[in-house]
Structure 1
Amino acid sequence: MNLKFEQQFIYPNLDAESYAEAIRKMSKNLLKAGFVSPEYPDQVIAREKDFPTGLVLANMNIGIPHTEAEFVSQTVVSVATLNKPVKVHSMIDPDETLQVSMMFMIAVSDPKGQVKILRELMRLFQNQDLMQKVMAENSANEIYQLLTANTVKETE
């Protein structure tokens, strides 16, 4: 399963007062396009309470919210850079609160594919220069180009 981005699901400078609001805003086009079920946003938010997804990188904190495959019909990763950071709990230490500036919301239709998608995202996250460029970009097309140019394509 390859890591897949689509320009219509990339949100530069997203305005959100909370992690939940960002998830809901990022879910709208996924819902319209039929990639996820109507329950998807609520399921992502609910999963976050038990399994938080905040992650500390060298230069910023990011969130990688997701939920089970049963709420997804097509695999894609939605991306948002946030106008102002929002709070989320740490994946490593759930008692710790992080301020995240960027979100990679995963929608995976095959439960076995989630590990591959997460592994590829982690590889991207290690490229600090790339993450800084994505964060600084104001164009969905430019973010899409940056991410797809740096994504490894595996043959199925």
Structure 2
Amino acid sequence: MLTATKKGLFADDAVFISSQSDKEAVIREVYQKLLDRGYVKGDFIEHILERENKYPTGIDTSPISKDLPNVAIPHTEGEFVNTRMIVPIELTHPIKFNNMIEPDKELDVKFLFMILNNDPEGQANILAQIMDFLNSTPVDQLTKLFNLKSTNEIYEFMADHFKQD
């Protein structure tokens, strides 16, 4: 097994591009890779899917810019993960996620920031950092991120541009 390069909250072997057609398929695909790399525990999948259904994580980015795609921030409790990091996932085509603010509304989402956090105090902190990143990064830079087509480019962008506490 190769050793991952890790910069802050990002690891080069935990950045993905998915062509799946629905949120559960994407989460299952990424889960298997994260499990194989030891980042999550076996029961992670059932808990992240259950949490996503009860507490949707889709975020409407139109208040930032009408030109940005929507994102989602799936996560679950820290007892189901082995590390503290953000897993960026580029979707090759939009997938429906329910809106975090208005759970009965669906959003077409094009990018995921999956949170893995084994620190029970830190879940809200990482979520806040992602929201700060989306709000403080210039729209042209976010557009660049959301159009990158390689996991290495996404990893380098996030490692270089994401302010970490």
TM-score, structure 1 length as denominator? 0.91
Q: How far did 1:80 drift?
A: 1.1
Partner amino acid, structure 1, of 2:28: R
Q: How far did 1:81 drift?
A: 1.0
Counterpart pick for 2:10 among 5, 15, 25: 5
Q: How far did 1:3 drift?
A: 5.7
How far apart, in 2, do the equivalents of 1:149 and 1:142 lie? 10
Structure 1 unaligned blocks of 5 or more: none
| 3-state DSSP of counterpart to 2:164 | coil
Contact 2:10 2:87 in 1 (8 A): yes
Aligned residues: 152
Counterpart pick for 1:61 among 57, 70, 73: 70
Matched, 1:144 2:155: yes
Contact 1:8 1:29 in 2 (8 A): no
Question: Residues 88 and 38 (structure 1 numbering): CA distance in 2 closer, same or farther, change over 3 Å?
Answer: same
Partner in structure 1 of residue 95 of structure 2 = 86
How far apart, in 2, do the equivalents of 1:134 and 1:26 lie? 19
| 3-state DSSP of counterpart to 2:158 | helix
How far apart, in 2, do the equivalents of 1:120 and 1:3 lie? 13
Tell me which stretches of 4 or more aligned residues in structure 1 moved more than 6 Å: none
TM-score, structure 2 length as denominator? 0.87
Q: How far did 1:138 drift?
A: 1.1
| 3-state DSSP of counterpart to 2:122 | helix
- More RCO (CA 8 Å, sep 6+): 1
Counterpart pick for 1:34 among 23, 31, 38: 38
Partner in structure 2 of residue 48 of structure 1 = 52
Q: How far did 1:84 drift?
A: 0.9
Identity %: 31
RMSD: 1.5
Structure 2 unaligned blocks of 5 or more: 1-6
